[in-house]
Amino acid sequence: MADLSRSEFGNFLRSRRAKLNPKSVGLPDGRRRRAPGLRREEVAELAGIGVDWYIRLEQGRAVSPSVTTIDALARALRLSKVEHAHLRALASGTNRRAFTRETVSAALRSLVESLNQPAYIAGRRWDVLAWNKAAADIFGFDRLAEEDRNILICVLLYPGSRQLFGSSWAEEAKRVVARFRATHDLWAGDPAFVALLTRLRDGSPEFAEWWEAHDIRGGVGGIHRLRHPKKGMLRFAHASFQANDDPDLKLIIYTPA
């Protein structure tokens, strides 16, 4: 495993182990437990691997688990399909160059600006790189400084987001954090991602708790109900698309629902 993802691989195993209880996996409660969740030796037994090998994996030491071992751990820890895929990605992650902010081609920028529906393009760190007038009217990207044009900063730190999402703000914020976690873990330790996490921890009292939960969610669409100060109640279906010319870029489109 690459250095950037090895520690996050261990952290993820530990977080999933802590969420399970013996009864849920068919094990007796036994004696009183000092910590919530399964013991390391119980996970190793369920996965059919040696305890020492599992400990080395959870400690993020220099070992390379096979696909068979990854799949066995996924079954033992009752991982969802999204979590299983994340564990595989962490195990096979390669050393990356330092993150640099992406650029959007003129053709792709022109396409976004031509759309009538709210639309924007985001990069790997969820920086908002291009948007159209309809998106600016809803989310105010054009009123933000360049360093603030980031989905996590907008949702967690921008005061207007709580009013825009209303009673669903906490649910939406947790969803965003869980989706970003899957991206972050592949870039753990990169200065740009470290700087973003530091800013989120300093500015959002809720972020630290949600981040430590280590929840992982996939990039699925859904419905947003927004309370706009001028447009009133809005309801959008949103979906994301990967750019063929640059797979690091994603196009997000909001369609009135």
In this predicted structure, what is the pLDDT of residue 103?
94
Do 75 and 156 share a domain, yes or no? no
In this predicted structure, what is the pLDDT of residue 1?
42
Do 112 and 51 share a domain, yes or no? no
pTM greater than 0.85: no
> Containing domain of residue 24, as a range?
3-92
Tell me which residue of 51, 56, 49, 57 sits closest to 39, measured CA to CA. Answer: 51
Residue where one domain finishes, among candidates 92, 117, 149 = 92
**Which backbone phi and psi does 29 adopt, to 5 degrees?**
-60, -40
Estimate to the nearest angstrom the gap between the alpha carbon of 155 and the chain centroid: 14
Q: Would you list the DSSP string of 15-55? A: HHHHH--GGGGT----SPPSSSS--HHHHHHHHTS-HHHHH
Do 64 and 151 share a domain, yes or no? no
CB 219 within 8 A of CB 241: no
Q: What is the CATH number of the domain that holds 37?
A: 1.10.260.40
In this predicted structure, what is the pLDDT of residue 31?
62
Which two structure tokens, joined as six digits, stand for 181? 């976690």
Tell me which residue of 76, 63, 69, 79 sits closest to 5, measured CA to CA. Answer: 63
Q: How many domains does the chain have?
A: 2
The pLDDT profile of the chain, 257 residues, written as one tens digit per residue, is 445 567 888 889 999 998 888 777 777 666 666 777 888 999 999 999 999 999 999 988 766 888 999 999 999 999 999 999 888 888 876 556 789 999 999 999 999 999 999 999 999 999 999 999 999 999 999 999 999 999 999 999 998 899 999 999 999 999 999 999 988 988 888 999 999 999 999 999 999 999 998 999 876 678 889 999 889 999 999 899 998 888 899 999 999 98
